[in-house]
Structure 1
């Protein structure tokens, strides 16, 4: 027995010795160098990932993609700081450490298409600047300690890119911050407060009288410094304290774009479908929408003028498609303002700085490779710590080449994206409007037309996400992943919260919603106008007086699901009313379940009501496995329940039975449902929570945000209820 114990103790000591040896080997200079090289390469790959897929988060509403990009964005910052710390504290010498440090500082500027992950990051722009200052101090210390070497001299050209990258990112964060939004929108807000007083008759077909600003040239606006100087000289008294904008030849307005006689922008020339002019219109609308994010407001007359323009656009052939395209591109510009560097790149001198970066890249990369290669061709100085393969090839040099290649590819990809971006198109079209010789040069017109009609992907996903309560109420998320402990680390998924397959945002849905918006005779109603028009209000309007819109949505959603099951259409794809009703029913239910911030009710009230409805459904439908069993049981329960019940599920069943009892043919009921859901969609669109809308732009966008942009331009708002609804369930 003692012999066995001695053997076991000996085996344990050997294992401990091996573990100790492994730990010591990881702390050797070569191991630390390998760690630095590995982390530098990982950082470069993560930046490439952000560069390639930066704008994909608004084109794809995909939680996994967003999580991957968030991880890459977050890890990049930490890895840069950690790796620079390893370099400055290294107990060995390697002449390429300053070279890698410079690239890490360039990477700290992040990708042009992914400057921030969320709006909260924008408010911390000062933290970013201070962090950059501290890190650049550490890199300078590393340079001093390394002395002057050939690899260090080779990278001096690329050093000039570091401040350009960092300051552009800091500027983009500041512009997207709360203060930055107010600062950059002040000029347009003051101008739009009087723009509606423009002389002359309005003609939306020719944009006559619509002096909405597209691009402001190099003009002198009233700065605070000029204000103080004039006031001190006592030569000037300010009639007001606004920031005036004088419309000169350098300022491009919508009216000027439509008046342009160049072949490229003529309706009978190169812009027969008005897509090029609409790019400028979208950019101008985006400027107006930014006012809503800056605590400024437009006058009632300004909203009425914009509403007249929107109605004209809708009245044209394929008006709903064109109007949707304009708003779609407008929100694309808004996304770029908040989440990318494009606003700073396309500012005055911004693109020139980008050209300088390219020149430094073209010169610096070959010089770096040319000077570093001879240095490491013979494995470098013998007194340095280096890594090499079994064949003697320098791993240090290979790492440098790999980082250079990733950096170069990333910059070229970003330049390509920038060249075909919507911002570049607006800049070219505005320059075309201001420059007469461009309008007379056919080759220039063809080049601009080619760029402006190049579209790599659609601006948004163009899908309606769906949720079916009767199919999903029994869903329970895995408790090992979503529980009271993980709530601190990730957004919780509640019981019943699982999506159905998304539906395409078809033309019929857009037309139905826009038709409801345009035909609204007065204040927005939550479906009552459509019920009155179809002469069924006396039967169905009892559902509109429920205490919250969340209850109204779920009651009608359940009724629509029951009618869909009990009175199915023979050819769903050809029945436009069926498509509109079912898609919007499940879409609004999806907003209730996942994004209540975009709906009229208080978000927590909606969550609380939804949780209660899920519990109610599980109690009533216990044991039912299929949708057919559930609806059959609901119909049975609905016939025995009191008509004055306050249970949302039962109210939905009762409404569904009323729809089945309508004496007209089923297609008439689908018409009623389609028009009701379209009107309710318009009713929930106005929102004072503009930040919530902007946050969802980075999640793939929502159809309700497109409507929100339209009604914001028109100044359409929901009126508070004029009756006391507290006695309703």
Structure 2
């Protein structure tokens, strides 16, 4: 009797589930499910193509949220679409293929293309690069699924053979992304910069040797070992790329710089104006950003150009053949339009990538290294379009600000109604009260002070050890204030000087110019922002705990 009762309950439960979703709705969803997913996949690709590059130079929250959402959703939507396509019923009566299914199966290589993503974003965070093995597994699995769909839909027609060039383009795109993620992972990046193993001198001795690039100390111009002059209208790009290639990448990978590298880099910066010096640093960071988050390492190489050419001509040829040599009367008009949208979207992705390639900083470096009249003419012809079609910005030009006293005085109940799962209320609270300040007026005094410290430093190591003691010593306060930068931990020192700077900035008796006070306050609030929001950028400590305890005490 209990079994009978249980069976009746299960039957009623199934019946109630079936009744919740009307038959017409389920039929409509089954008919449009794949179409909606494919259209959504195309839309996400367009969003990533148009907005992902703006992440380098914008502080607008909604753009970052949009890019983050599109990046996470794009792979999921393309994967689900491939799964839906592979599980679709291809046989209409067991003998003949449904023509519409054959056309839908033609969409499979386009989904591989979407999984490869645009050139402007391969990773959203550094952690994505470390997961390259997961993407490699995804490449194998998804290519297998797409090939399974291709075999299921095999009919020996022109449309079936037309899938082959799109498979080539899709595998190239997906393979490029996987390769870039692997190259940008910390271990592979570090290994790629290490010199060849030598059973003789150790690494430190090797790094004391001469380098391939020498910089004249009189002008700071770059020359090669044979004395060839390398300076023109794009000399800043040359210097930035040389510093990036020979030093910045090694510093990022925690490798040792040679003595000559350290010695030769100083004259470059010394003979630049503050604006130019900051531009060089911006370019270096921009190059590093491209290596870590985009397909730059593949695209701006001979192999990348060949792959891009093959992918572009595969897509173009597919569009031409589909337009003029495929009989479309047996297919649904909706599916035909979606196919055209996929083809045009793929071509737009390729053309946009080519434009970005031509107008990028990497192109300027490559052309300026050729040194002939043809490349000079190309540079002059392209430069006017660069500022129109792309943005010359490489970073926002603003510093994030966090103030301890304002943190204590702010309304902590503002986000109480926000759901507390995953600390969303705390996340919103932090970013809601964060401010941004322009750094244009700060470049000259910061640069001047760095040069002064360099003149008095014995070597690079002693220069990097300064935590404020240089200025205190210069003004004769080392005996009274030295404890605040020498005898306490770094995060403790940041909090002490942040509070002191904030309180002194309100004093009417301060004889210093207001501009200098504002610079000091902005730098102080930026250091607190790093301490609270980006503690991984500072030496290890308990800064976040100290900040919370200090707020509670205040």
| Shared fold per TM-score greater than 0.5 | yes
Equivalent-residue separation in structure 2 for 1:346 and 1:616 (angstroms): 54
Counterpart pick for 2:217 among 198, 204, 210: 204
Find 1:326's aligned residue among 271, 275, 280. Answer: 280
TM-score when scaled to structure 1? 0.64
Aligned partner of 1:286 in structure 2 is 244
Structure 1 residue 418 corresponds to structure 2 residue 425? no
- Separation in 2, partners of 1:169, 1:25: 41
Unaligned runs of 5+ in 2: 1-11, 91-97
1:497-512 correspondence to structure 2 within 5 Å: 499-507=433-441, 509-512=442-445
TM-superposed CA distance for 1:19, in Å, is 7.1
TM-score, normalised via structure 2 length: 0.83
2:415/2:428 contact within 8 Å kept:
no
When residues 479 and 546 of structure 1 are mapped into structure 2, their CA distance, relative to the original with a 3 A threshold, is farther
Unaligned runs of 5+ in 1: 1-12, 212-252, 381-385, 387-393, 434-438, 618-729
Instruction: Give, in angstroms, the shift of residue 201 of structure 1.
Output: 9.3
Higher relative contact order (CA 8 A, sep 6+): 1
Asked whether the 8 Å contact 1:496–1:614 carries over to 2, the reply is no
Question: CA–CA distance in 2 between the matches of 1:49 and 1:199?
Answer: 43
Q: Give the drift of 1:86.
A: 1.0
1:581 matched to 2:520 = yes
| 1:469 matched residue in structure 2 | 404
Give the deviation of 1:407 after TM superposition.
Answer: 2.3
Kept after mapping to 2: 8 A contact 1:474/1:496: no
Q: Give per-residue Cα distances to partners, 1:587-617, cap 9 Å, x unaligned.
A: 1122222112222342xx0110011011112
RMSD (CA atoms): 3.3
The structure carrying a bigger helix percent of its residues is 2
> Bigger radius of gyration, 1 or 2?
1
* 189-198 vs 42-51, which moves further: 189-198
Q: Identify if the C-alpha distance between structure 1 residues 495 and 420 changes in structure 2 by more than 3 Å, giving closer, same or farther.
A: closer
Q: How does 1:577-726 map to 2 (within 5 A)?
A: 577-602=516-541, 605-617=542-554
1:363 corresponds to 2:302: no
Q: Could you tell me how far 1:458 is from its partner in structure 2?
A: 0.8
Q: Is the 8 A contact 1:482 1:493 kept in 2?
A: no
Number of equivalent positions: 511
1:151 to 137, 156, 159: 159
Residues 406/495 of structure 1: CA separation in 2 closer, same or farther (3 Å cut): closer
Cα distance, 1:329 vs structure 2: 0.3
Return the alpha-carbon distance in structure 2 between the equivalents of residues 585 and 338 of structure 1. 29
| SS at 1:503 equivalent | strand
Q: Could you tell me whether the CA contact under 8 Å between 1:464 and 1:587 is conserved in 2?
A: yes
Matched, 1:336 2:290: yes
Tell me which residue corresponds to 1:48: 46
SS in 1 for 2:38: helix
Q: Which moved more, 1:148-157 or 1:102-111?
A: 148-157
Q: What's the CA shift for 1:568? A: 7.8
Distance 2:419 2:529 in 1: 20
Q: 2:501, 2:521 within 8 Å by CA — same for their partners in 1?
A: yes
SS at match of 2:113: helix
For each residue in 1:275-322, what CA deviation from the matched residue of structure 2 results, as whole angstroms up to 9, or x when unmatched? x122122122222222234453223x235413xx32x33443x52221
Q: Distance in 2 between matches of 1:414 and 1:537?
A: 56
Deviation at 1:26, TM superposition (A): 4.1
Distance 1:178 1:558 in 2: 37
